[in-house]
Structure 1
Amino acid sequence: MVHCYRLLGSVHEAEDLVQETMLRAWRAWDSYDAARASVRTWLYRIATNACLTALEGRARRPLPAGLGGPSDDPGAPLTPSFDVPWLQPFPDARLGDPAALATARSGLRLAFVAAMQLLPARQRAVLVLREVLEFSAAEVATMLGTTTASVNSALQRARAGVAGASAEGLAETDGTVIDRYVQAFETADVEALVSLLTDDVVLEMPPVPLWYRGATDYGRFMVRLFAMRGPHWRLLPSAANGQPTLAAYCRRDGVYRLHTLQLFTVRAGRVSHIVVFQDPALPELFGLPPVLAP
């Protein structure tokens, strides 16, 4: 499922394509030849080609920063764009045991998956098959029905396309700064929040298409948020894309209601990137209660 998610950027679509892969494999089992490929290679070939077929004619799944420049207006209207097929976070719980997470982490970070959405579909496939799953160029050529030279050329172009995301994709997972972030957020302490950020921090909030860069604009926006939603919050740990993640609950009508899922990148002991997801599918995807007791 992780393989399909990396290519598609959607958990729900990945689930559908896994089912499609199993169906195709069952129908083709009589033609499987163990002398030509291992079962693993055979299944990845089927899954990859099913994903490539699904991607034909589809719009890519971006984050807001992939659509234009940052906003410098903390009072800009927070109008969601539901017509955009936004990139979804991937619940770590879907990976199973910790060893699976450790193996998948390098190719699951949100920045890496988001950067891949900018690539043509076949370049995405080559990059994942070669760099993440470590198939040989010859094996990938057989999977995709092309030549080794074409695979190597596509890999070179794909590497250039995701180069900027690679460093962020390997950022830290230390939870100390996240613990301090929780304390500051739950007390609506904007100054303390800003002190935990890098100067060039990025804040994105899909499905709202605008985004902010810089600790100053982040602080101005948070002043607005606490003025709008109030200072009463609870943040619970979650896990997505192998990165620190928090479920944020805002108190309304005497109870805490799920507001957003916040996914963090930490660099040099400070938060460098925050993606705040507000999606009605989040409770089901992450097993989150929609309401907490006071």
Structure 2
Amino acid sequence: MTAPGPVRSDEFEGSTAAYRTELLAHCYRMLGSIHDAEDAVQDTYLRAWRFYEGFDGRAPIRSWLYRIATNVCLTALDRRGRRPLPSDLHAAHQDAVGPVAEARQDVPWLEPAPDAAFTGADPAGVVVARENVRLAFIAALQHLPARQRSVLLLRDVLAMTSNEVATTIGTTTDAVNGMLKRARKQLAAEDLARDDVAEPDEPAERALVGRFVAAFESSDVAGLVELLSDDAIFEMPPLPRWFAGVATIRQFVDTHVLHPGNSWRVVPTRANGQPAVATYLRDDGTSPHRGHGITVLTVHGMRISRMVSFLDPGLLGVFGLPPTYPDRA
């Protein structure tokens, strides 16, 4: 099989380029990692290029690309397990003032994804519905076996028929319907109610995030806690411990985060269709504020019901942010 020539190359690009963003979202939902999703999309397009000469057009090119992408993801999932959050592994920790547990670098943690990855050429026009990339939904998908995950996404998110899904993953329609039933039952058992919320309008959300930024940068523990719901959750992968309840979170933040030895700078952003912030930390009084991670906020009414701080400075580049906080003029 030969690769397309120059003319076919232009045709290939014109026929497939429009689907790259939605394929990235599909691979992210499958894999739980924006880095792995980008690799999967790259592999998808390389495979599609290789076999484009043999594509006969009997199926829509979008369906053909999804078939390739889904199978790329299923192969990737065969090589490793699911990507959890700390709350998927064990119960909430009660000791908020003791030593911080060692980071678990051996766990392939769930990753956030920037909203910008799922927009088209016009940033105002979101290509992917934000409810389909919300952090709680991505985390819940990780509890499904890989093939069940693919069936649920192809049927319930992408609205393919059972017959189309069967063709995509190489099985029967009856098998697809069985996997879909089990996947829906499992997903219904996950506690997604916390994220099934009426969010504030955009000005109110901006104001809430502004208060969060101000409290963090001024080490105002009381001001930060005031923004939390009583049953809020705080987790910080790759740290395995997580905390539930505003009183416990207050103790942890006061002891380990917003104490006098730390100086913070915070930049608002968006991740997984939710408000988020990038954090920069200076803990020696002299060096620049260096990238610390991305915190994704779940907003319930006018309170924050969940904070997931992904303590990975490398994520800042994914969000188009510098590794150190820019000096103010």
TM range (shorter): over 0.9
1:227 & 1:31 partners in 2: Cα distance? 60
Aligned to 1:64: 86
Which one of the candidate residues 152, 166, 169 is aligned to 1:127? Answer: 152
> In structure 2, what residue type is equivalent to 1:167?
A
> In structure 2, what residue type is equivalent to 1:31?
G
Residue ranges of structure 2 left out of the alignment (5+ in a row) = 1-23
Q: Does residue 272 of structure 2 align to residue 247 of structure 1?
A: no
1:21 & 1:72 partners in 2: Cα distance? 45
Secondary structure, in 3 states, of the residue corresponding to 2:281? strand
Which one of the candidate residues 20, 27, 50 is aligned to 2:50? Answer: 27
Q: Does residue 108 of structure 2 align to residue 77 of structure 1?
A: no
TM-score by length of 1: 0.93
Q: 1:227-270, CA deviations, whole angstroms, 9 ceiling, x for partnerless residues?
A: 65635322111121111010112234153222221100011211
Which one of the candidate residues 233, 239, 256 is aligned to 1:202? Answer: 233
Q: 1:109-167, CA deviations, whole angstroms, 9 ceiling, x for partnerless residues?
A: 11111111111001110111111111122211111112222222212221222223543
Secondary structure, in 3 states, of the residue corresponding to 2:126? helix
2:209–2:268 Cα contact (<8 Å) kept: no
- Seen in structure 2, the aligned counterparts of structure 1 residues 176 and 149 have a Cα distance that, compared at 3 Å, is farther
- Seen in structure 2, the aligned counterparts of structure 1 residues 138 and 168 have a Cα distance that, compared at 3 Å, is farther
- Seen in structure 2, the aligned counterparts of structure 1 residues 84 and 92 have a Cα distance that, compared at 3 Å, is same
1:187–1:231 Cα contact (<8 Å) kept: no
Which one of the candidate residues 255, 261, 279 is aligned to 2:312? Answer: 279
1:120 & 1:246 partners in 2: Cα distance? 32
> In structure 1, what residue type is equivalent to 2:111?
Q
User: Which range is displaced more, 144-153 or 167-176?
Assistant: 167-176
Aligned to 2:300: 267
1:280 & 1:246 partners in 2: Cα distance? 13
Greater share of strand residues, 1 or 2? 1
- Seen in structure 2, the aligned counterparts of structure 1 residues 71 and 140 have a Cα distance that, compared at 3 Å, is same
User: Which range is displaced more, 228-237 or 127-136?
Assistant: 228-237
Secondary structure, in 3 states, of the residue corresponding to 1:273? strand
User: Which range is displaced more, 44-53 or 102-111?
Assistant: 102-111
Aligned length: 293
Q: 1:255-287, CA deviations, whole angstroms, 9 ceiling, x for partnerless residues?
A: 322222110001121100100011132132112
1:70–1:211 Cα contact (<8 Å) kept: yes
2:236 & 2:145 partners in 1: Cα distance? 25
1:160 & 1:176 partners in 2: Cα distance? 38
Secondary structure, in 3 states, of the residue corresponding to 1:47? helix
Cα RMSD after superposing both structures:
1.9
Secondary structure, in 3 states, of the residue corresponding to 1:291? coil
Aligned to 1:3: 26
1:250–1:256 Cα contact (<8 Å) kept: yes
Q: Does residue 56 of structure 2 align to residue 13 of structure 1?
A: no
Q: 1:49-86, CA deviations, whole angstroms, 9 ceiling, x for partnerless residues?
A: 11101111412111110111110111242310101111
Of structures 1 and 2, the larger Rg is shown by: 2
2:259 & 2:223 partners in 1: Cα distance? 19
- Seen in structure 2, the aligned counterparts of structure 1 residues 76 and 160 have a Cα distance that, compared at 3 Å, is farther
Which one of the candidate residues 168, 180, 184 is aligned to 1:159? Answer: 184
Identity %: 48
TM-score by length of 2: 0.83
1:131 & 1:153 partners in 2: Cα distance? 14
Q: Does residue 220 of structure 2 align to residue 189 of structure 1?
A: yes
